[in-house]
Amino acid sequence: MSLMQHSASISSSSSAFLGESNIFSRTSKVSLPSNKSGLCKCVSSPPTEKTAYNTKVARNANMAKLQAGYLFPEIARRREAHILKYPDAQVISLGIGDTTEPIPKVITSAMTKRSHALSTLEGYSGYGAEQGDKQLRAAIASTFYGDLGIEEGDIFVSDGAKSDISRLQILFGSNLTMAVQDPSYPAYVDSSVIMGQTGQFQKDVEKYCNIEYMRCTWENGFFPDLSTVSRTDVIFFCSPNNPTGASATREQLMKLVQFAKDNGSIIVYDSAYAMYISDDSPRSIFEIPGAKEVAIETSSLSKFAGFTGVRLGWTVVPKELHFSDGFPVAKDFNRIVCTCFNGASNIAQAGGLACLSPEGLKAMHKVIGFYKENTEIIVDTFNSLGFSVYGGKNAPYVWVHFPGRSSWDVFSEILEKTHLVTTPGSGFGPGGEGFIRVSAFGHRGNVLEASKRFKQLYK
């Protein structure tokens, strides 16, 4: 038998062996040809069970300290499960702080122009400076820090404040202590855990060992009683605060800067919502005398210009800031940036430069004004229902109190009964228990519909 004939015979007989064919009746007898040569033998055997292969590399023990999933992916998971349960429901998300309105054309036009230029010999560019485009750095300095003594060389352009928080943690290393507002943006705590700055999580108090939780509640005006706060190396502070929406006053920030000086600490000041401030609260920590000697500031265009997907931010490390041995902090951060980062996208940076033009600033303020109108609708809704409501004035977040209740239970109740996604306050720290955060980032129609559903649920 030729090799081709032999193969055809195997194929034909194997088809009958693997399953019934409509060519044959149930009584048809199909046999495999005898194989005297011993070249092929068809046998049926159970599949072998595969066992996982493990390397000899130990897991980073700090990763095992992290509790459950990161807050916002967990919310997304529950949202998707709800959609599967109620496929016909109109689910509206007022949870994660993701912008929804289109980026103004004056900004996208600049990115389009830069993108098309990359297809020409004259306009193409590859790697840029890791610290960012010099013209953009100068524009950031003049726009946001005009008369505060911050210069272009103090600014490091990045792919967002969240990324810079992790880079700063690499800069500081594992052998230090940190303080954080409670409640606050979870990235501060989680990055500290991953770096090995903390002990184990204490379930009874919902805190990590070796982190100083600075309680910020409505009783103390959402600013910590610094007389009760222990000395730490680094203090993470966000104003306007995420999630409470509270902005620190000038007097409060003066106390914070003095507290840092007295203790020899460094403040990492997150000003990602500064353009939402509508009163006389400081928009930068560097408005406070002496802050350049004790503070770093990180910010972003995510919530100013709708750059949550474009990714562009910056960190300010003043030349006056030094480590205990006198070495400039900026020099080490520059080394971290050059080692871990190849610079922000040149297309995104072109958009950033357009944001800071007179037309771009006007367009950003218009979008911010839209979200602030959404905030007013949400605040009015919960006020009308008799809830204690905080935030909303200087930030796109509304902090609603549900005394005596689990914030995850409230989250689940709202999702189940109204198909609205919010954010449970306990995800921001133990001080957030009993609250939910409602985001003003949403289309106007969705915000109005959400307001209607809240009223139906809690009237």
Q: Do 191 and 331 belong to one domain?
A: yes
Per-residue pLDDT of 193-249, as tens digits, reads 999 999 999 999 999 999 999 999 999 999 999 999 999 999 999 999 999 999 999
Q: Do 440 and 346 belong to one domain?
A: no
Helices (H), 249-296: 250-263
Crossing angle for the helix pair 346-355 and 105-117, to the nearest 10 degrees: 150
Q: Do 183 and 279 belong to one domain?
A: yes
Q: Do 137 and 82 belong to one domain?
A: no
CATH of the domain at 235: 3.40.640.10
Q: Do 349 and 375 belong to one domain?
A: no
Q: pTM for the whole thing?
A: 0.87
CA atoms of 52 and 104, how far apart (whole Å)? 51
DSSP 97: -
Is residue 193 domain-resident?
Answer: yes
Domain holding 15, by residue range, is 1-44
CA atoms of 8 and 425, how far apart (whole Å)? 68
Per-residue pLDDT of 140-190, as tens digits, reads 999 999 999 999 999 999 999 999 999 999 999 999 999 999 999 999 999
**pLDDT tens, the chain, 459 aa long:** 444 444 444 444 333 333 433 433 434 444 444 444 444 445 555 666 677 999 999 999 999 999 867 788 889 999 999 999 999 999 999 988 899 999 999 999 999 999 999 999 999 999 999 999 999 999 999 999 999 999 999 999 999 999 999 999 999 999 999 999 999 999 999 999 999 999 999 999 999 999 999 999 999 999 999 999 999 999 999 999 999 999 999 999 999 999 999 999 999 999 999 999 999 999 999 999 999 999 999 999 999 999 999 999 999 999 999 999 999 999 999 999 999 999 999 999 999 999 999 999 999 999 999 999 999 999 999 999 999 999 999 999 999 999 999 999 999 999 999 999 999 999 999 999 999 999 999 999 999 999 999 999 999
> Token pair for residue 271?
């000003």
CA atoms of 198 and 192, how far apart (whole Å)? 7
CA atoms of 67 and 235, how far apart (whole Å)? 22
CA atoms of 181 and 277, how far apart (whole Å)? 19
Q: How many structural domains is the chain composed of?
A: 3
> Token pair for residue 397?
């977040």
CATH of the domain at 73: 3.90.1150.10
Q: Do 95 and 151 belong to one domain?
A: no
Q: Do 345 and 411 belong to one domain?
A: no
Q: Considering the chain, what is the average pLDDT of its residues?
A: 91
Residues 6+ apart with CB under 8 A from 412: 78
Q: Do 284 and 415 belong to one domain?
A: no
User: Nearest to residue 33, comparing CAs of 53, 6, 60?
Assistant: 6
Residue 349 exposed, middle or buried by CB count within 10 Å (0-12, 13-18, 19+): buried
Q: Do 365 and 353 belong to one domain?
A: no
Is residue 434 domain-resident?
Answer: yes
Q: Do 342 and 373 belong to one domain?
A: no
DSSP 275: G
400: phi then psi, degrees, rounded to nearest 5 = -110, 130
> What dihedral angle (degrees, nearest 10) is formed by the CA atoms of 144, 149, 152, 156?
-70
